[in-house]
Chains A and B, each alone.
Chain A
Amino acid sequence: MIISVASGKGGTGKTTVSTSLALSIGKDAQILDCDVEEPNAHIFIKPKIEKKESVSIPVPKIDESKCVFCGKCQEACVYNVIAVIPATSERSGKTLTFQELCHGCGACSYLCPVGAIKEVPRETGIIEMGYAGDLEFIHGRLNIGEAMAPPLIREVKKKIDKNKTVIIDAPPGTSCPVITSIQGSDYCLLVTEPTPFGLNDLVLAVEVLKEMNVPFGVVINRADLGDSKTEEYCEKENIPILMRVPFNKEIAQSYSKGIPIIEGMPEYKRSFEELLKKIKEEMKK
């Protein structure tokens, strides 16, 4: 079973929910932090990292001694990675590559008529894996300056162990990194806060999940702040509210120190066990 934890708006409590949910299951659970731009789950889970892997995409390297400057690769590349300067009577030709724009599709090397393009790996991030007690932990970290998170997210998701209960901590927003993270989930929890910003972004996230056909429910964090419009929206749209977490200085403080709620306030362990039970019930519907 794969449960992803997402939200339109950032900072609503995704990591708070995903880490405590995963810790409450413990054995036979796996937490994947797919927010590879800003991964935070490790701060709370404190895993012992046992394995690291480099993730790279294949980018073109031109062998200019073979290149005939025909321009086929430039024509094939829709990402403008390759610029071919044809030879003239005064100077020899040149082929420039802008590797940071490359998506690694492989078209250029395949279509090169003289075999002048070799693909070489360019690292875009790393995956770190380990355990915190019985809980298996995996996250990706995008390298600084890299623009594309989805290829790294896809690699993180290849570590999914289908025999376990898998909790995915997704990035905020509604665009490609979020879709890549949630895709293939059996259920999605949307964490929100009852403010105009929270509701606006929740509505966007709901549209995404409907489009993706993934069943979902809502967790309202800081439930006593803001206004009642989020509750009204969920009721009107028939979206189940599976948990409400009050605004509480104690929770905020333990969050700030990197302590999961269920460790800082053990009475919450039952709430998260309840949450998992409710998710399972929802999935049967």
Chain B
Amino acid sequence: MKQIVVISGKGGTGKTILTASFAALAKNKVMADCDVDAADLHLLLAPDIKERQMFKSGHTAVIDKNICIECGKCRELCRFDAISEDFIVDPVSCEGCAFCSNICPVGAIKMEENTTGEWFVSDTRFGPMVHAKLGIAEENSGKLVSLVRNKARDIAEENGADWVIIDGSPGIGCPVIASISGVDCALVVTEPTMSGLHDADRVIQVAKHFKVPVKLVINKYDLNEDMSEQIENYCIEKNVELSGKIGFDENIVKAMVEGKTIIEYSDGKTTNLIKGIWEKLSRVLV
């Protein structure tokens, strides 16, 4: 079983479109949506939820006003400025470190476990899918990503699946690190803009830092062909394989509006290009 993750550095370059296309093309696979704080894959795969679990992670300090003697020790020691002058904890600033609860001389501070999201195992027309929803304004998305990935891998092993296809999140921080660690290939989708190249370069450095094999696709390459060429030169210079170039295609948005992958929506050029990318990718990885 091989795991492939689609990431981008910069948001909005086409990760989910490509992941959903691979879901339509690959045989015998499990999908994992690891963009847990703004998940979109479900809009194209229409999952039918079979199993639903709460995700608990991290703690928040709560001060019992009946016990608190307002000595101020917690306020003095908290490095995250999470305790107000009237001894109320701001849950957004609280890092859950429990320092305050450890040092409170009267034991007035308890640490309460946070429910920070939900995760799901679903059926889709392309096979099983594991996905999640991070609670509003919650943290620890990296841990939720790891949980989604582990569950997807378990299902793939049980079913004897050949692929785990993972939709990643933008950026280079904790959810991205959690979604790329230990995969067989990280496919970076970028666009021919200065921002696209800048951000792809940073996420490629992260992939290399964690020793994850990385390849690159240029989406909407024809929006600026000079910039596309610069990205191709970058690939040669940095020894990153260019898996393909996809042109701007209005059908992608039209397919999205109908809740379909581009593969199902049209037999056109884009579909053939993505098929070519997948065939090449899967041949090398198997």
Chain B residues near A79 (CB, 8 Å)?
97
Chain A residues near B259 (CB, 8 Å)?
196
Q: How far is the CB of B193 from chain A (nearest CB, A)?
A: 4
Please tell me if the beta carbons of A174 and B195 are within 8 angstroms of each other in the complex.
no
Contact flag A38-B38 (CB < 8 Å), given A15-B195, A195-B253, A197-B43? no
Contact flag A208-B137 (CB < 8 Å), given A110-B99, A149-B173? yes
Chain A residues near B102 (CB, 8 Å)?
76, 107, 111
Chain B, 205-239, contact with A by CB distance < 8 Å: what is the 0/1 string?
A: 11001100000000000011001000000000000
Q: How many residues of A contact B (CB 8 A)?
A: 58
| Range for the number of chain B residues in contact with chain A | 35 or more
Q: Residue of A at shortest CB range from B248? A: A252
Alpha-carbon distance between A176 and B134 when the two chains are bound, in angstroms: 11
Chain B residues near A142 (CB, 8 Å)?
172-173
Alpha-carbon distance between A212 and B209 when the two chains are bound, in angstroms: 36
Contact flag A197-B11 (CB < 8 Å), given A9-B38, A146-B173? no
| Interface membership of B136, Cβ < 8 A | yes
Chain B residues near A171 (CB, 8 Å)?
170-171
Out of A38, A107, A197, A212, name the residue touching B137 (CB < 8 Å). Answer: A212
Chain B residues near A211 (CB, 8 Å)?
136-137
Chain A residues near B172 (CB, 8 Å)?
37-38, 142, 144
Instruction: Name the interface residues of A166-196: CB closer than 8 Å to any CB of B.
Output: 171-179, 183, 195-196
Alpha-carbon distance between A111 and B142 when the two chains are bound, in angstroms: 29
Contact flag A226-B11 (CB < 8 Å), given A107-B99, A144-B209, A253-B223? no
| Interface membership of A147, Cβ < 8 A | yes
Q: Give 15 new A-B contacts, CB below 8 A, not counting A40-B10, A142-B173.
A: A35-B171, A38-B9, A78-B98, A103-B95, A106-B99, A148-B174, A171-B171, A172-B11, A175-B141, A196-B259, A201-B40, A204-B38, A212-B92, A255-B193, A257-B224
Binding site for A on B (CB under 8 A): 8-13, 16, 36-38, 40, 43, 59, 77, 79-80, 92, 95-99, 102-103, 134, 136-139, 141-142, 169-177, 191-196, 198-199, 202-203, 205-206, 209-210, 223-224, 227, 250, 253, 256-257, 259
A-B contact pairs, 10 of them (CB 8 A): A10-B38, A35-B171, A40-B195, A110-B77, A147-B142, A147-B173, A208-B136, A252-B223, A255-B193, A257-B227
